[in-house]
Amino acid sequence: MAASLVLGQGQFNDLLRPQLVQEPLRLALTPILDGVVIDQEWDVFTQTSNGPTFFQWEPGKIYWAAKATPGHDVVVSIDTAGDGWLVGTDNLEIRSRLEGEQIVTTVRQLDATDRSGPVWSSPEIIPESFFVAGKPSSQYWNLEGRFDPIQFGFEPKLDSKPGIRIDVVPTGTDLGASYIPRALSFVRLRFDNSRDLFSGLTWRPEVRNRSIARFDTVRFRFNFTRDENGPDIQSIDIAGEGYARQSLGVVSQAFPEWDRKSRALVDFVSDIKDESVGGYRILRATLLRSDGKIATIRTSIRLSELIDFDAKLPRVIRYSEEAQVVKGNINIVSQARGRVDGAFRLKIPNDWSLRKGSDTNFLIYHSRGNFNVPVEFMVPAGAIGVFPIILEADIGTQTIQKVVYLPIR
């Protein structure tokens, strides 16, 4: 009894202690969720005494991972609105443990609408919106997770500022009552960040579209501006990071001369290798100053499939005790140069009925063109909640899929 009490008090104190986050500007980066945490696919979030943790994002999704000491759970605390742990209904706890070779995960939602009496509940999670994978190893066990939190009113996007905390705690530890606060780190979701950038130097990306089809060419321009007493830069090296290192070429050159407006442009142009791994990847530019000091710039690009889906559906449908007809459009957007053709399918919940938009052939003639598919379906009477709508397209032997979510409240 005494040992259990001490353990609970220790963990209680840990939750109140701020974590040292390696980088508050979190880049878009897509991991491969196979249950094995590989450094080249993850950005470290914080180093805990029981193993490192990782956190990143891409539009609509958040990802986390850990290399946890055996006998420990991984607990992710998320304040989606970034307004404080004991505020509102937007706070989630995701707790995972390893049992044999299986990952057991529980999700709790904290309702702090009544500040004097916050309560935990067990929310119903849309299966398509949540995934965890893990594997044991000799010194630690791996955990990787993905969550699409739009059903809780949070859609991760550029400049979102959620509160995040990831703990690795002894299995069975009681994390305390619902009214106990938690010290979260409020991070910013970004496409660009830098480390040790020289004083007097600024930069911005010049890119028409961060999404490039994996069969196309990456064209990315770094636009630098220097103050009057800015740094003397000798050289710049640009390469892919992680999986992108094998997918892209390398630029290594002397830094260009500054123009009359104290600007310098550096272009990165590279074909994408056939064996590239799709998703958000990172380009890293390394700057060498004349005194030998180094600055690093990291920027996210997306190695995409041939097409993307842009769903034009109602953001929210009002609850009705009668059946409702929902109309919208699915815009199929080419990410490639040249002609793209295929077949589109719309999948809705089993008890809904599809009126328009199933099995539609499409043809996009122009580079980065689009094809519009009108859709119409019937929602049954009394439907309430958040429902997955699956968009699929067959292009040759390849099937491309995206899940969007339709709230009915």
What Rg, from alpha-carbon coordinates, does the chain have?
24
Write out pLDDT tens, residues 205-243.
998 889 988 878 999 999 999 998 899 999 999 999 999
d(CA 174, CA 404): 36
Q: For 37-41, 49-53, 336-340, 361-365, which range has the lowest pLDDT when averaged over its residues? A: 336-340
Write out pLDDT tens, residues 259-311.
999 999 999 999 998 788 899 999 999 999 999 999 999 999 999 988 999 99
Write out pLDDT tens, residues 342-373.
999 999 999 999 999 889 999 999 888 999 99
d(CA 112, CA 43): 31
- pLDDT computed for residue 13 by the predictor: 63
Residue 279 tokens read as 């998703």
Mean pLDDT within 128-155: 93
Identity of the amino acid at 124: E
pLDDT at 4 over 70: no
Q: For 208-217, 321-330, 337-346, which range has the lowest pLDDT when averaged over its residues? A: 208-217
d(CA 385, CA 317): 10
Strands 211-213 and 294-304: parallel
- pLDDT computed for residue 7 by the predictor: 35
* Banded model confidence at residue 10, pLDDT cuts 50, 70, 90: very low
- Which residue ranges form the domains of the chain, and what is each CATH number? 2-190 (2.60.40), 214-304 (2.60.40.10), 307-408 (2.60.40.10)
If you average pLDDT over every residue of the chain, what do you get? Answer: 92
> Which DSSP string do the residues of 239-300 spell out, in sequence order?
EEETTHHHHS--EEEEPPPP-TTSEEEEEEEEE--TTPPPEEEEEEEEEEETTS-EEEEEEE
d(CA 314, CA 326): 8
